[in-house]
Amino acid sequence: MPHQLKRAGFFAFSVFTLLFFHSILFSTISAQNDKKQKEHPVWSKNISIYEVNLRQYTKEGTLKAFASHLPKLKKMNVGILWFMPINPIGELNRKGTLGSYYSVKDYTALNPEFGTLADFEAIVKQAHKLGMYVIIDWVANHTSWDNVWMKSHPEFYTKDKEGKFVSPFDWSDVADLNYDNKELWNAMRDAMKFWLDECNIDGFRCDVASMVPLEFWTWVRPQLEAKKKIFMLAEATEPELHEAFDMTYGWQLKDLFVGVGKKEKNASDFYNHFEKEKAEYPKDAYRMTFTSNHDENSWNGTDKERFGDARQMFAILSNIVPGMPLVYSGQEADLDKRLLFFEKDPIEWKQSEMRNLYTQLFDLKKNNKALWNGESGGEFRKVVTNKESVFSFVRENAGKKIFALFNISGVPVEVQLKDEIAVGVYKDFISDKKSVVDKNYSAKLGAWGYKLLYK
């Protein structure tokens, strides 16, 4: 055989072999992805999440005082209650009078300011009875300077060249944990299991999750699920964290809201965001969508400060795009102050149309399969209109469908469809009246106006 033919034959064989093994690898990865997509707790597919700032929720700041609010939260159609850290707070190097929730003194104790372990068990039981789920904030990256491990296990901590404990970044009230020590892994697992075993919680929201090795999270989760499936939320955006977590933070979307408020972003940026998210994240990844949380409110400002008249539009948008919507304590009362982080600063509970709005949105989320989470819901599909300032899309699944138009500007517009994927007969979310959308459909949207139709 001529040398050239041998080379050609070898090349053809190599290409065939490469393609063959690539197809096997792709099939294997697809199978693994399919397996991962079945890991979410079934109950998480169509619910929302609510962040509880216990210290500021009531004048008393206790679990017993908070208990009276559970029926209201159930009536608001809340699905998951996420409690900010409930552990005792460190006193050494404390910030402010009461300190940061995230400076944990003892992983297996309850902050006496909030009540007793029995009080928390009662909250979990009552929440479960009402059909809600409970997750707690878990700070695995660092502890307070007077954490019980400081004396019993100093080897768990990161040290500098002089052998002194160190803080991560400029967080002076906490000391960094060193995950090179595998005994720390066991201790952290046991501490997490304590809350599952003793209080029957349903999962964890993990603080600065990407600062802890992914290997720890993938190692610990199966062990935490020995008795039941749990829900894991990572305070991070890295797609690879979905190997261990059900949900990551949708900071990118929140940043778009802020950018619009600063007149730096527009409708096209929203389309680009969802295309990028679709390409980067696993198909069944949950993203948490929000306009506020404890960090945003205390350090960056209230919804009114950052979004002004657009805040209601963003509240609706964050509830109907792919993802699980979050409401932070007080948002349903149109909270208009930055809550102090290290001091007592109770929420001012007042009547607001926002409570009714979130109630309706969470109900729509629960009952309209187009809005369900991950692959249980409908895919985001762009709707083309004649206005560059309008962000429009449909989501459709199992005979259910939503069609939305958002005017991402402070100037009123009259928008016309240039697309037929939204054609259909719907109900208007605000008026609940019948709305027929044909290929010639048009709508007038006020400044920061919106139209949400569903069926």
Closest CA to 373 of 312, 326, 407: 326
Residue 39 has a pLDDT of: 84
Those residues with Cβ within 8 angstroms of residue 282's Cβ, 6 or more apart along the chain or in another chain: 33, 36, 37, 239, 242
Q: How far is CA 332 from CA 50, 353, 355, 401, in A?
A: 10, 8, 4, 26
Q: What is the pTM of this model?
A: 0.92
Residue 127 has a pLDDT of: 99
Superfamily designation of domain 42-377: Glycosidases (3.20.20.80)
pLDDT (tens place) for every residue of the chain, 455 residues total: 333 333 334 334 344 444 444 444 334 334 334 435 448 999 999 999 999 999 999 999 999 999 999 999 999 999 999 999 999 999 999 999 999 999 999 999 999 999 999 999 999 999 999 999 999 999 999 999 999 999 999 999 999 999 999 999 999 999 999 999 999 999 999 999 999 999 999 999 999 999 999 999 999 999 999 999 999 999 999 999 999 999 999 999 999 999 999 999 999 999 999 999 999 999 999 999 999 999 999 999 999 999 999 999 999 999 999 999 999 999 999 999 999 999 999 999 999 999 999 999 999 999 999 999 999 999 999 999 999 999 999 999 999 999 999 999 999 999 999 999 999 999 999 999 999 999 999 999 999 999 999 99
Closest CA to 253 of 240, 272, 239: 272
Q: How far apart are CA 312 and CA 331, in angstroms?
A: 11
Q: How far apart are CA 302 and CA 335, in angstroms?
A: 7
- Strand pairing of 324-328 and 381-382? unpaired
Which stretches of 133-202 are assigned E, i.e. beta strand?
Answer: 133-138, 142-144, 174-176
Closest CA to 53 of 418, 440, 342, 374: 342
> CB 163: neighbour CB atoms within 10 A?
7
Q: Span 382-454: which CATH code?
A: 2.60.40.1180
Q: How far apart are CA 432 and CA 428, in angstroms?
A: 5
DSSP one-letter string for 410-454:
SS-EEEEB--STT-EEEEETTT--EEEE-TT-EEEE-TT-EEEEE
Instruction: For the chain, give the mean pLDDT.
Output: 93
311 and 296 in contact (C-beta within 8 Å)? no
